[in-house]
Amino acid sequence: MTTANNRKRCFSCSRENNTYTCEGCSKRFCSIHIPEHHQRLNEELNHIIDDYNKFKQTINEQKQSPHDLSLVNQVNQWERNSIAKIQQKAKECREIVIKSSQTLLNDIEIKFNGLSEQIQRFQKENDFNENNLNHLRNQLRKMAKELNNPSNISIQQNSQTFISDISIISSKNLKFNKWKQNATTVAGGHGLGRKLNQVTDPEGIFIDKKKNILIVDYNNHRIVVWKCNAKEGQLIAGGNGQGNRMNQLNNPLDVIVDQQNHSIIIADFENSRVIQWLNQKQQILIQNIDCSGLAMDKNGFLYVSDCSNNEVRRWKMVEYNNEGILVAGRNGKGDQLNQLDCPTFIFVDDDQCVYISDQNNHRVMKWRKGAKEGIIVAGGNGKGGNLNQLCYPQGIIVDDLGQIYVGDCGNHRIMRWCEEKEKGEIIVGGNGQGNQLNQLDQPRGISFDDEGNLYVVDSFNHRIQKFVTVL
């Protein structure tokens, strides 16, 4: 609540008097009615706390009885009908369902603990308004929806002559996936060179809905697209030699697609600019920035990592003539939680949390919207090859359940980390530096298609590798 400097009407009694403004609803109240307004806010907070306690009880009940899930009962019924011939299959499906449920509960519990801290802070400080309460209420509703609507998994039956086989289908298909360890080369792989069937030291990558692969061809100063199953790429940006003209690029590092106008946005690193290409027409969006990574959130905001200034900034579309909004870093080069040291690839989730490959600190940082410092969600234990370490991390993706996938460049492997876990796991690579189908050499950008297949920019092998998912 803020004090007014003049006499205005009270919202409750309409009397003209010294009034106070509520920051949440922007209404003004006199000294008599401001306590009543605050009492109403307290009552609303108490209702939210009641909902919170009920939700907490629901979580505890489901954690104690994961076998009561309806999907598990369906698997059990199928097992009884098919008897011994499908017992092993039933066991596998049951484990997936239980693991999915437990993982969902763990994910919600993390968010729930954060909500608990907010409620306790409001109670302790007694400083909140309608906006705060609406935020708490919306967070509870969102978590309840996630918990009570397990539509992300279902049963798929494949009819056979004797029995109907079943498997578990999850829309969040990155969570429990494993990948075949031998990859298929889907772009490049013909040595370094300038031909359209070649790429040279590729960096970033973008997979569209048709499984077309946009590749940042770093040392060829161009962006090429390889259609699904194509034998060579097509030039879509640059390719006019190394330079700073509008139709040229100079060692680009990353590329994304603006879904609103289907243009491509490029981190033109050595030209210190972010440039947009639309139907062979170019427009410089941001200048004087050592851009190394790009991301765009669901609202169309563009995020750019600046490796020289050790920061990440955000721009609103069509408003690129300003310096943007700082979202991470800008506290000097260093390894403190409010610092970065050469940020490269970035990822932004639906809550506008920014995940940053903090290259020279050998860690991945997560900065929540509006935060003054980040938290370490992968690595952060020094440069190394142990499962709790990273070595010059690059490409980064976070799936719908918060799992973090990292191109562990110096260790020639791709890792998966869960937030708050002490170590990650190797999902592909990790078989030494090399050019065999189960090896990588300085992996950079990574991406998934809508089937969960993993694409890796195998930079020093001058190729893009596809690792097929298997359950």
Asked if residue 208 lies in contact with residue 218, where contact means CB atoms within 8 angstroms, the answer is no
pLDDT for res 15? 80
Average pLDDT, integer, range 411-423? 91
pLDDT in tens, 208-240: 888 999 999 999 999 999 998 899 999 999 999
pLDDT in tens, 111-163: 788 778 888 887 887 877 887 888 778 888 877 877 777 656 667 766 555 66
pTM of full prediction above 0.75: no
Asked if residue 28 lies in contact with residue 10, where contact means CB atoms within 8 angstroms, the answer is yes
User: Nearest Cα to 388, choosing from 360, 354, 359, 411?
Assistant: 411
pLDDT for res 206? 96
pLDDT exceeds 50 at position 33: yes
pLDDT in tens, 156-200: 766 555 666 776 665 444 455 799 999 999 999 999 999 999 999
CATH number, domain 178-470: 2.120.10.30
Q: Where are the beta strands (DSSP E) in 334-422?
A: 343-348, 354-358, 363-367, 375-379, 393-398, 403-408, 413-418
Q: Would you call 361 helix, strand, or coil by DSSP? A: helix
Burial class of residue 419 in the structure, from the number of CB atoms within 10 Å of its CB (0-12 exposed, 13-18 middle, 19+ buried): middle
Cα 62 from chain centroid? 27
Q: Would you call 440 helix, strand, or coil by DSSP? A: strand
pLDDT for res 69? 65
Structure tokens at 269: 């690193």
pLDDT exceeds 50 at position 353: yes
Asked if residue 240 lies in contact with residue 267, where contact means CB atoms within 8 angstroms, the answer is no
pLDDT exceeds 80 at position 342: yes
pLDDT in tens, 253-307: 999 998 888 899 999 999 999 999 998 899 999 999 999 999 999 888 999 999 9
Arithmetic mean of pLDDT over the chain: 87
Instruction: Report the C-alpha gap between 426 and 420 in whole angstroms.
Output: 17
Structure tokens at 109: 């519990």
pLDDT in tens, 307-332: 999 999 999 876 776 889 999 999 99
Residues facing 302 on adjacent strands: 296, 315
Question: What secondary structure letter does DSSP report for 242?
Answer: B
Buried b (16+ CB within 10 A) or exposed e, 168-206: bebebbbbbbebbbebeebbbbeeeeeebebbbbbbbbb
Average pLDDT, integer, range 388-411? 95
State the pLDDT confidence band at 67, using cuts at 50, 70 and 90: low
Instruction: Report the C-alpha gap between 236 and 221 in whole angstroms.
Output: 11
Asked if residue 183 lies in contact with residue 428, where contact means CB atoms within 8 angstroms, the answer is yes
pLDDT for res 322? 80
Average pLDDT, integer, range 360-385? 95
